[in-house]
Amino acid sequence: MTASSAVIRRGTIFSIVLGLVFLAAWQWGPGLLGIPSFIIPPLSAVWHEFWRMVAVNGLMFHTGITAAEVIAGFLLGSLLGACFGYLLGMSPTAEFALSPYILGLQIAPKVAFAPLFILWMGFTVYPKILVAILIVFFPVLVNVLSAVRTVDPDLINLARAFKATRAQIFWKIEFPASLPPLFAGLRIGSTLAVVGVVVGELVGGNTGLGYLLAFGEGQANTPMVFVTILMLTVVGGIAYLAVVLLENRVLHYLPERAVTGF
C-alpha cells in the first residue's frame, strides 16, 4: 500500500526517536545495569575500536574483500539460479527428473560445504564465493521455476494464437511475468550471500570480515566483534538496497509499490 504522507512523516519521526533511544541505551544501559564492557561494550568503545581497526587492522581492506566476494557470489549465484530456473521451467521432464536432487541439495545446509571448498581451493577468495553461489542459487531457482510454472496458460495461448515462436513466448510473456518472483528471490539471495561469504571466511583464510570476526574472538576483543558485525550488516544492507533500487526501476509498472521497498 502506498502510505499517505502523514503516515510517512509520523513513521519517520518515530523511527528516528527509536534509533536515538537505542543508541542511548547502548551507551549508558550496560553501565547502569552493571554489565561488564567485555560482554557489551558501550557505543563509544565500539566507535573507538572502529577507528583503531581502520588504522591498525585494515578494516576497510577486509570489508572490501568481503564486499567483492559477496558481489561475485551473488551475481554468479543468481545468474545460475535464474538460468536453471528458466530451463527447468520450460522442460517439465527435466524438472521431474531433477527435482529430488534439487530438493536434497536445498535441504542440505549450504554453509556446511565451506570446509570442503577450502580443502579443494585453499585459503583463497574462491571457496567463499562458491559458498555464496551455492546459497544464493536455490532461492532464485525456486522462485523463477515456480513463476515460469504458474504463468497463466491463457496468456501463452494468446501469444500462440498470434503465431508467436517459442522464443517470443519466452521473451514477451514468460520472462517478464517471472520478474516479480525473480526479484523476491534476489532480495533473499542478497542477504544470504553475506552469510555464505562470512562462513567461508570464518572457516579459513586471513582476509575478509569473517577473518576479523574470528581474530577478534581469539583476542577476546568484544568491541572488535561488534564492529565487524556492524560492517557485515552494512555490506548486506547495501547489497539488499541495490536489489530493491533495481527492482523499483524494473517493476515500476506494478501498482502501489511499498514506500519502503520492503
Give me the residues that bind other proteins (CB under 8 A), please: 152, 154-155, 157-164, 168, 172-173, 176, 179, 253-255
User: C-beta of 162: minimal distance to other proteins in Å?
Assistant: 4
User: C-beta of 149: minimal distance to other proteins in Å?
Assistant: 18
Contact indicator for 209, 231 with CB cutoff of 8 Å:
yes
Which among 48, 65, 171 has a CA at the least distance from the CA of 123?
A: 65
**Signed CA dihedral, 67, 70, 73, 74: sign only:** negative
**Which amino acid appears at position 231 of this protein?**
M
Q: Which is nearer to other proteins, 158 or 245 (CB)?
A: 158
User: C-beta of 152: minimal distance to other proteins in Å?
Assistant: 7
CA distance linking residue 258 with residue 2, whole number of Å: 6
Q: Which is nearer to other proteins, 56 or 163 (CB)?
A: 163
CA distance linking residue 153 with residue 90, whole number of Å: 13
User: C-beta of 243: minimal distance to other proteins in Å?
Assistant: 18
How big is the chain, counted in residues? 262
User: C-beta of 184: minimal distance to other proteins in Å?
Assistant: 16
DSSP state of 170: I
What are the residue ranges of helices labelled H in the chain?
5-33, 43-56, 59-90, 92-107, 114-121, 126-149, 153-161, 166-169, 175-203, 209-218, 222-250
First CA to last CA across the chain, in angstroms? 11
User: C-beta of 168: minimal distance to other proteins in Å?
Assistant: 6
Q: What is the CA radius of gyration of the chain?
A: 22
User: C-beta of 189: minimal distance to other proteins in Å?
Assistant: 22
Q: Which is nearer to other proteins, 150 or 168 (CB)?
A: 168
Which among 191, 161, 178 has a CA at the least distance from the CA of 77?
A: 191
